[in-house]
Structure 1
Amino acid sequence: MTPAAGPVGAAPGADHSADSYLPGHGNGGYRVLHYDLDLDYRITSNRLAGKAVITARATQSLSRFTLDLGRFRVQDVRVDGRPAKFAHRPDKLRIKPEHAIRHGAIFKIEIRYAGKPVPISGHWGDIGWDELTDGALVASQPIGAPSWFPCNDRPDNKATFWVKVAAASPYTVVVTGDLVTRRRGAGNTTWVYERNEPTAPYLMGVQVGRYELVELAAGRVVQRAAIPPRVQDVFWYDFGRHGEIMADLERLFGPYPFPEYVVVVVDDDLDDPIEAQGMSVFGRNHVDGQRTHERLIVHELAHQWFGNSLTVADWRHIWLNEGFATYAEWLWSGASGGPSAAAHAAQWHAWLATQPADLAIGDPGVERMFDPLVYKRGALTLHALRLRVGEAAFFALLRSWVAEHQHQTVTTEQFREHAGRFATRPLDDLFIAWLDRPELPPLPRNPDRPVARGARG
């Protein structure tokens, strides 16, 4: 069985890792329904000890199966309470239960493990659990989840989570989810979070640091922040319009899809902000007191709709995350008195015209998943669609796309079909030109049309 293989004892190809770009991540033969994680993290030594109880449903008969797990020492594995044989060779944990699991059965896997969590190497550098100068962060997109817990690491296997983390009391622990309890003991504080909305493993995160918890903005949606005390003065200016941004994106895309939104600013520099479900993580370099990076604030918040509530079923559809979040930046720019979406479209179309025409963003390939062309041309695709169908139809299209697929996985094919419902003539030519072919289409003409409420730009 290769690292990408599914369950042994099943018909070949019956169920396997579904992702075409990352076949070594994810496993077949079952679907995880729930993760119960009990973690103890020692910050000074960067040591993590964990107990994971995973509830899954077999999608075929299983005599053995695999999970994704990084470089830990696995101490014990049980299936439905019975000891199971296992072999761990990073980054796969192979398990052979005492008795075969029948098709359709719900079963529990209990794994005890410990070690120093380290990021997982990929095409885009090291990804996952990482040490900070004073604390730790998790940046799991797209392959980093196994760096801290055993999982079925595929974007289309969403599950619910319960996460308990014990860490030294001077530190704040923020996990993607709703805080259930916080209990202080002798030297340690235990934090318990639950994530009741279906969540892909890569969208779970743990942030540990000397943070102050504050209210980020008032409004219909609970918005909180965890920030180092020394960045407070500039933080309040840079994030001062967050309530307005949230309200504007809700007008554009529909209700925010989770109970709350949390911003974390780490006391280290980061190359890029980090996306998680119901959370975004910024470096201290993204906070300068001049709103230099406000577009990134908008981009990460937009991912809560496009990427987190609606998650790509396969990484080749990544433009559905990044193109939409980039277009949200352009919409907010126009709404807040900056250049309009049309002006941004003209600027970035001119830039794309100077780049090699060598990437079809509808299937960019694993090494170019996060290429700037995917972001900018993805946004231009939406702008072209907006001009084709008209203002009212375009924003109705987006809101219904979000509502109909909330907390599910999506594909480009589904979006094409969905968009067609709002057009008076076929859209095949538009999507083929912008998504399927590398050549850059002409920039669509911006007709004189009234702008939808909340969609200034």
Structure 2
Amino acid sequence: MPRSVRLVPVMAATTLLLALTACDDGGGPDASGAPGLGDPYFPKAGNGGYDVSHYGLTLAYTPQGNRLGGTAVVTARATEDLAAFDLDLVGMDVDEVTVGGDAAEFRRDGQELIVRPSGTLTEGETFEVRVRYSGSPRTITDSDGSKEGWLRTADGALALGEPNGSMAWFPGNHHPSDKASYDIAVTVPKGLTAVSNGELRSERTAGDGRRTFDWHSAEPMASYVATLAIGHYTVTRPTVTRTADTGAGAARNGVLPVYVAVDPSQVAAGRDVLARLPDVMEWADTNFGPYPFSSAGAIVDRPEDAAYALETQSRPVYPGAPDLETFVHETAHQWFGDSVTPKTWQDMWLNEGFATYAEWLWNEDEGGAGAQERFTQLYDHGEDEYEDLWAFPPAKPPTAAYISDSPVYQRGAMVIHRIRTTVGDDAFYDIVQGWAAAHRHGNAGTADFTAYVEQQAPDEDFDEIWADWLYGEGKPQRP
């Protein structure tokens, strides 16, 4: 996610939640899940005591008055006995909550929607929470000054969720460690289109002209990469032919469903770059391994609608027609960030370092500056463009306000390049593709990554890379 403001087996989400949850009262009649997962930068994000498997959202939006309403059905499994649990939801009016079909007590406390079912949920029990809510969704200002959550546009709205914005438009367990499948049905006024993640299962028009769009995302998705874009769009469905994959992202008959929605004002400016989508995806398949999702595409809104591009799963969002490097960056995020999702927000460099390095690789393969040239230029003159380049190590941003700053992106890419020059190209691409495959649709952190690299190249010494480039303060010595 380039911000313009600052410029092994898959581990189950349940295990991650248990590892992150700092509070467990041991069960009993008053047992409650923790109101946050203790993330290093966003300790109140997410909730303890359960693991979500599916979100079913049935929504209706009217741009006039910015009115959103509907029902969220959250299917989850209790990871401990629960007499009460929390959902993350900021703003909005909650009208009714049921658990297992029975009315549940609820109250609000900041971003926490605290739910008390009619009976205690037992560890291992699967349950369904239904929340009926309505109101005017909020725009959230992050600590770095960027805007997320629900962004109103000239003809509708755009929902962006990194890091916590999704709680502005639906209740859930909003931490990247709890991934789930999604069904999102959105009804909008006549003439508007509603675009979300995954595949468009149906589109229907009512007698009054209002249209309902049903979107389905089968593969696990972190809530921060869920999106909803409502407005006037020119829609195309280009053909992307792929070699059939045996994994969860298998293409039907070798053809990947693609849905590209572009604001009419951006169609001409975006035509050339968006036409490269098949080329970029084929290149990424070759370098990173099979595409991990069952659909692809893009959403292009006006430049004033958002201040940054975002790797929303299967359908990245761009504020205006993207340049080719940004397009490559957000495409690479489908592997690094969306499929392999960080355990905590301290692992953000794994998303951005890989996606930034993908830009370097693309230019190298297209006959432009090589990755080594980019590395050397950054080392020698990087402060000219990125004043804070050496301000902190990529794996240790000082606070949440810095997780989208240049050390996370540029120094993160430099770490990846140092691995490449240490092991050589053949071993490097084995590591990259193996990492993406080992944690496909899962979560992984920095310690997992460094251990994986060392395991794959046991004869190499990575101590200097980790100590000086990944975790070290200041500018490392020239390699």
Deviations 1:91-145 (A, max 9, x none): 1101111111111111111110000011223313332111001111111100001
1:271 aligns with 2:307: yes
Q: Is the 8 A contact 2:142 2:148 kept in 1?
A: yes
Q: Using a 3 Å threshold, how does the CA distance of structure 1 residues 340 and 223 change in structure 2: closer, same or farther?
A: farther
Q: Is the 8 A contact 1:228 1:267 kept in 2?
A: yes
Residue 304 of structure 1 deviates from its aligned partner by 0.2
1:79 aligns with 2:99: yes
Bigger proportion of residues as strand: 1
1:407 aligns with 2:429: no
Give 1:131's match in structure 2, choosing from 152, 163, 167.
Answer: 152
Which residue does the alignment assign to 2:316?
A: 280
Residue 43 of structure 1 deviates from its aligned partner by 1.6
Taking the aligned partners of 2:57 and 2:462, their CA distance within structure 1 comes to: 46
Taking the aligned partners of 1:5 and 1:90, their CA distance within structure 2 comes to: 20
Taking the aligned partners of 2:218 and 2:70, their CA distance within structure 1 comes to: 21
Q: Using a 3 Å threshold, how does the CA distance of structure 1 residues 62 and 193 change in structure 2: closer, same or farther?
A: same
Q: Is the 8 A contact 1:346 1:443 kept in 2?
A: no
Q: Using a 3 Å threshold, how does the CA distance of structure 1 residues 87 and 406 change in structure 2: closer, same or farther?
A: same
Residue 443 of structure 1 deviates from its aligned partner by 4.1
Q: Is the 8 A contact 1:277 1:308 kept in 2?
A: yes
Deviations 1:48-81 (A, max 9, x none): 0020111111111111111100111100011111
Residue 361 of structure 1 deviates from its aligned partner by 1.4
Deviations 1:345-377 (A, max 9, x none): 111122346756431211213221111111000
Higher relative contact order (CA 8 A, sep 6+): 2
Residue 241 of structure 1 deviates from its aligned partner by 2.4
Q: Using a 3 Å threshold, how does the CA distance of structure 1 residues 396 and 5 change in structure 2: closer, same or farther?
A: closer
Residue 396 of structure 1 deviates from its aligned partner by 0.6
Which residue does the alignment assign to 1:168?
A: 189
Taking the aligned partners of 1:347 and 1:25, their CA distance within structure 2 comes to: 38
Provide TM-score, normalisation by structure 2.
0.87
Provide TM-score, normalisation by structure 1.
0.91
Taking the aligned partners of 1:104 and 1:18, their CA distance within structure 2 comes to: 22
Could you say what secondary structure the match of 1:98 adopts?
A: coil
1:190 aligns with 2:212: yes
Q: Is the 8 A contact 1:172 1:208 kept in 2?
A: yes
Residue 6 of structure 1 deviates from its aligned partner by 6.2
Taking the aligned partners of 2:382 and 2:395, their CA distance within structure 1 comes to: 16
Which residue does the alignment assign to 2:346?
A: 316
Could you say what secondary structure the match of 1:274 adopts?
A: coil
Which residue does the alignment assign to 1:111?
A: 131
Give 1:98's match in structure 2, choosing from 118, 139, 147.
Answer: 118
1:261 aligns with 2:291: no
Could you say what secondary structure the match of 1:187 adopts?
A: coil
Number of residue pairs aligned between Structure 1 and Structure 2:
435
Which residue does the alignment assign to 1:225?
A: 260
Q: Using a 3 Å threshold, how does the CA distance of structure 1 residues 65 and 386 change in structure 2: closer, same or farther?
A: same
Residue 172 of structure 1 deviates from its aligned partner by 1.1
Which residue does the alignment assign to 1:349?
A: 379
Q: Is the 8 A contact 1:8 1:63 kept in 2?
A: no
Which letter does structure 2 place at the counterpart of 1:332? Answer: W
Q: Using a 3 Å threshold, how does the CA distance of structure 1 residues 92 and 183 change in structure 2: closer, same or farther?
A: same
Q: Using a 3 Å threshold, how does the CA distance of structure 1 residues 387 and 120 change in structure 2: closer, same or farther?
A: same
1:340 aligns with 2:377: no
Taking the aligned partners of 1:143 and 1:187, their CA distance within structure 2 comes to: 34
Give 2:467's match in structure 1, choosing from 420, 432, 441.
Answer: 432
Which letter does structure 1 place at the counterpart of 2:310? Answer: I
| Stretch of structure 1 that moved more, 219-228 or 329-338 | 219-228
Taking the aligned partners of 2:70 and 2:33, their CA distance within structure 1 comes to: 32
**Mapping of residues 350-365 of structure 1, within 5 Å:** 350-352=380-382, 355=387, 357-364=390-397, 365=399
Taking the aligned partners of 2:33 and 2:96, their CA distance within structure 1 comes to: 29
Which residue does the alignment assign to 1:329?
A: 359
Residue 30 of structure 1 deviates from its aligned partner by 0.9
Q: Is the 8 A contact 1:6 1:27 kept in 2?
A: no
Residue 215 of structure 1 deviates from its aligned partner by 2.7
Deviations 1:6-41 (A, max 9, x none): 677749998651422101111111111111111011
Could you say what secondary structure the match of 2:237 adopts?
A: strand
Taking the aligned partners of 1:6 and 1:105, their CA distance within structure 2 comes to: 20
1:249 aligns with 2:269: no
Aligned-pair Cα RMSD in Å: 2.0
Could you say what secondary structure the match of 2:291 adopts?
A: coil
Which residue does the alignment assign to 1:441?
A: 476
Give 2:273's match in structure 1, choosing from 214, 233, 238.
Answer: 238
Which letter does structure 1 place at the counterpart of 2:350? Answer: L
Which residue does the alignment assign to 1:62?
A: 82
Taking the aligned partners of 2:316 and 2:221, their CA distance within structure 1 comes to: 15
Taking the aligned partners of 1:116 and 1:6, their CA distance within structure 2 comes to: 33
Residue 335 of structure 1 deviates from its aligned partner by 1.3
**Mapping of residues 372-391 of structure 1, within 5 Å:** 372-391=406-425
Question: Which ranges in structure 2 are unaligned for 5 or more consecutive residues?
Answer: 1-20, 243-255
Residue 150 of structure 1 deviates from its aligned partner by 0.2
| Stretch of structure 1 that moved more, 323-332 or 192-201 | 192-201
Which letter does structure 1 place at the counterpart of 2:464? Answer: D
Which residue does the alignment assign to 2:245?
A: none
Residue 441 of structure 1 deviates from its aligned partner by 2.0
Taking the aligned partners of 2:169 and 2:345, their CA distance within structure 1 comes to: 21
Give 1:201's match in structure 2, choosing from 212, 223, 244.
Answer: 223
Taking the aligned partners of 1:58 and 1:248, their CA distance within structure 2 comes to: 41
